């Protein structure tokens, strides 16, 4: 009987400037999945400025398996004046199905 192949664990970590090409690719994959590619205006230069510049408008998390990015989340904080409380807004969250199955994520 064969032993099952060992699967590298998923890792979740904050995104960095070096992840921008992967983030662009994953955003486009999400747009394709949602059948919204004609509306996807994703641009590496603007992502760098808005997510990793002096004034950050969003944060990212990157999910990797074996060092390869397979998912991402883009989020930001807002404030509810009626609730008088901070709010976490998740803009996008995606993990490629074939790459994510079979192992729980481990925060890095």
Give the predicted TM-score (pTM) of the model. 0.80
Contact, 26 vs 94, CB < 8 A?
yes
CA distances from 107 to 3, 21, 96 (A): 27, 22, 18
Sign of the torsion formed by the C-alpha atoms of 30, 32, 38 and 43: positive
Cα angle value 21/24/26 (rounded, 5°): 110
Q: Can you tell me the distance from the alpha carbon of 54 to that of 51, in angstroms, rounded to the nearest whole number?
A: 9
pLDDT digits (tens, 9 = 90+) for 61-90: 999 998 999 999 999 999 999 999 999 999
pLDDT digits (tens, 9 = 90+) for 12-48: 999 999 999 999 999 999 999 999 999 999 999 999 9
């Amino acid at each position: 009987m064969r032993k099952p192949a060992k699967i590298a664990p998923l890792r979740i970590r904050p995104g960095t400037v070096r992840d921008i090409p992967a983030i662009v690719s994953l955003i486009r994959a999400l747009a394709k999945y949602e059948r919204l590619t004609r509306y996807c205006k994703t641009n590496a230069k603007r992502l760098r400025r808005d997510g990793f510049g002096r004034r950050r408008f969003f944060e990212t998390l990157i999910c990797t398996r074996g060092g390869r990015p397979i998912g991402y989340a883009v989020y930001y904080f807002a404030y509810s004046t009626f609730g008088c409380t901070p709010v976490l807004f998740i803009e996008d969250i995606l993990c490629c199905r074939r790459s994510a199955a079979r192992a729980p994520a481990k925060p890095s």
